[in-house]
Amino acid sequence: MRVNFSLLYAVGIRPGTTVWAPGAAPLPPKPWRGRGKPPTLLRRAPGHEPIAVKELATQLPVNAWQAVTWREGSNAALSSRFAAVRIRPAHRDYWRSTVRDEEWLLIEWPDGDTEPLKYFLSTAPGEATLEQLVFVTKMRWRIERDYQDLKQEFGLGHYEGRGWRGFHHHATLSIAAYGFLMAQRLRMQSDGRGKKNFLERALPALPPDYIPRGSPARSAPRS
């Protein structure tokens, strides 16, 4: 029995990335002429080729673009103009014998900009809404913020060993500490004691005789 495992993802791509426009696909293999090995590779032809995502974006009608707000920022709600179309990735498909599945192409083009700002490919389900696509794509900001907190404030980047087991233990403790404090943050927000997007952590005061690592005062003899 063959099981098809599909990976759900949203990834940023370059403006020059080529895709097959909605409703288009590579040509089937050449017809077999009765001699030799039957052709199996997909084909392209003059006038039947993939298109760069930037060029596709400029060809979309005006009504394809919608303003979407994905979260509250520190000063105002974050919103932009987006469009989403179903396409097929075209990267080296001439070495394939089967057509790739359709994916979402999400394009961000802020109102007033001369050209699109960002492009994303996503394997979200075909029934996904534009708001859902934008929300999932913009989750990258939260992931980067959490990773930065783990490195700078919870010690993830402080490991100096070389063994896998030691790093695994170190990372586990850092993530556990982060998970505990995040749960506390969410609990305080639900109790109405925290801001909507961020809660300042109360840091304990340093002892009077504390000397930072690397400070010249550490090597100086104490009286």
The full set of domain ranges for the chain reads 10-30+38-137, 138-197
Give the residue from 13, 97, 95, 91 showing the smallest Cα distance to 57: 13
The residue that leads in pLDDT, 58 or 204, is 58
Give the C-alpha separation, 68 to 81, whole Å. 6
Count how many residues are written for the chain.
223
Neighbours of 146 (CB within 10 A): 14
3-state secondary structure of 171: helix
Q: Which residues of 183-208 are buried (b: 16+ CB within 10 A; e: fewer)?
A: eebeeeeeeeebeeeebeeeeeeeee
Give the residue from 140, 145, 104 showing the smallest Cα distance to 8: 104
Which pLDDT tens digit goes with each residue over 131-167? 999 998 988 777 788 888 888 888 888 888 888 898 8
pLDDT score of 33 more than 70: yes
Task: Identify the helix (H) or strand (E) that includes residue 194.
Answer: none
Please tell me the predicted confidence (pLDDT) of residue 24: 95
Query: What residues contact 68, with CB distance under 8 A and at least 6 apart?
Result: 79, 80, 81, 82, 130, 131, 134
Judge contact between 45 and 67, C-beta under 8 A.
no
Please tell me the predicted confidence (pLDDT) of residue 201: 47
Give the C-alpha separation, 162 to 91, whole Å. 38
Which pLDDT tens digit goes with each residue over 181-197? 888 888 887 766 555 44
Q: Which pTM does this prediction carry?
A: 0.69
pLDDT score of 212 more than 70: no
Which pLDDT tens digit goes with each residue over 100-121? 999 999 999 999 999 999 999 9
Please tell me the predicted confidence (pLDDT) of residue 64: 96
Give the residue from 138, 100, 109, 106 showing the smallest Cα distance to 124: 106
Task: Identify the helix (H) or strand (E) that includes residue 51.
Answer: strand 51-52
Judge contact between 102 and 86, C-beta under 8 A.
yes
